[in-house]
Structure 1
């Protein structure tokens, strides 16, 4: 899909298609994607929306430390222990649209830890490491909005989570990121596996074609017994 087709698809979903088209051509002609805080951020997280002319808002250097500070302040003021998640809006790679994700957190385990636990049929499966902080961030993002909602925070009730006094204050969201160098290695392995699969498909094509022809000829043979159901 080309960039033009992506813009056309996005414009077709806009309340004001003309405004979106003008925005793409004048404001968002280019978008720089930068990897930070274990995520791919549009324009490195620098936001010029909802700011006065000539100003931008930037992300904190360590959002997890900021989340811990907010959590501590709430505890001192109200005597309540809560979890705090700091979010940012990002473009979803491979999909049209945006979503809020967590770039910082405190007092909450960012993922579940049920990988390879048994499912309903007693079979161990590889799932079970759900990104809890991103799921909560996505729900909160629908309330906070991105234009004139003026809702900088959301109080979420009824979510079951595991409290976690992590070392994220020192290491940020590094515990969620792939180890350094793992991304390109996984990409290379994916390319190699795909190439091997295509080679196997190519070399086994004559055999599968012969079997297919043989099956059709035996089915249409006049001496083939016919069964009634």
Structure 2
């Protein structure tokens, strides 16, 4: 599939390319069949709706600074973040399927903490077993996601929605569009798995910036 702006370009194509990432590359990287019961899936009640009170009083947006680590204490995620962009065919590159401990920040999105929607992706599993975002679907509203940034600050986001969305008819504008506030999307594969088609959907975690931890004295 090609965007109207041509492969490798950002803007509207960046949104299309992200959809291709979660719909193709992460599915190909997943193993799925290695565990009969599969990864946890979000409850219907956790889908995005009214933003919890703890996620409404956001601090002002931060200047640009790339993420270096993602932590999600409730599901024991503490992983380095690498940059992922578009390949020569206009697809977004996912973290290596052979290193399931890496998360990837899509460089066509804002950096976490900036005004807009930052996108961080990761595999749910690999041929060897669980990967970095295996337990993402077990998150609940009100839980925290911490993104350590290269400038030494940590952007803290509060989760306000967890859902499985289908690959077919993926609601790109709703998932990736800017709300006017600093937001974060964590994305991995989810939904039913088949040997032929891989995972049928994607787990999408929506979170909003609610606090910023300052640089530590030892930070550069």
Question: If the TM-score is normalised by the length of the shorter chain, which range does it land in?
Answer: under 0.3
Normalising by structure 2, we get a TM-score of 0.24
Larger radius of gyration: 1
Give the number of the structure whose residues are more often helix, by fraction.
1
Give the number of the structure whose residues are more often strand, by fraction.
2
